[in-house]
Copies of this chain bind each other. A is one copy, B any other.
Amino acid sequence: MSDDLAARLRKQGLRLTPQRQLILRAVEELGHATPDEVLAHVRSQVSSVNASTVYRTLEVLEELGLVRHTHLSDRAPTYHSTREHEHVHAVCRRCHAVRSYDPAVVAPLVAALGEDGFTVDVGHLAIFGLCADCASEDPRAPGETEASSARLRG
């Protein structure tokens, strides 16, 4: 974990700093978090950490292979630790719940595109749709988007 961070940084001639440790830990603790959320989390522990440091650090951590990002919303990217087992994300458009699935669910997909020479980045996959709860609660016509439902609600 943190040893991992220190080791990987050293191997690249980069330095171990409190910010880098805090930001990595924040990602691990939050599970899935946007740069903004990471910043807030880190700041709740230490006051003076800058947004630009978060952006720069998340980039470094991703290069080191310690975190990854996916797009779990139409907005900011969300980062997660690579210490978790690799997983596929499914996001409910309605309630925004995120469920993780075993990569096995996309094995056939990986195989199919693989025959075409395409190597799927499974960890980056974000699958949007409607979760069981939301589907039963309040069925809507298919094809509706988050935007449209927001507008119809508003």
Contacts and interface: CB of A to CB of B under 8 A. Distances in A.
A32 to B, nearest CB: 16
Nearest to A135: B119
A102 B131 CA distance: 23
Taking the full assembly, how many copies of this chain does it contain?
A: 2
A117 B129 contact: no
Interface in A26-78: 59, 62-63, 65, 68-69, 71, 74, 77
A113 interface: yes
A129 B145 contact: no
A108 B71 CA distance: 22
Nearest to A143: B65
A121 interface: yes
Contacts of A135: 117, 119
Interface residues of chain A: helix, strand, loop or mixed (majority): mixed
Contacts of A63: 144-145, 147-148, 151
A3 interface: no
A16 interface: no
B127 A113 contact: yes
A87 interface: no
Contacts of A124: 128
A116 interface: yes
A132 B116 contact: yes
Counting from the closest, the 3 A-B pairs by CB-CB distance are A117-B132, A108-B108, A63-B148
Given A92-B118, A105-B108, A117-B132, 14 more contacts: A63-B151, A65-B143, A68-B145, A71-B71, A71-B74, A99-B116, A106-B109, A117-B133, A117-B136, A118-B129, A119-B129, A120-B128, A121-B130, A125-B127
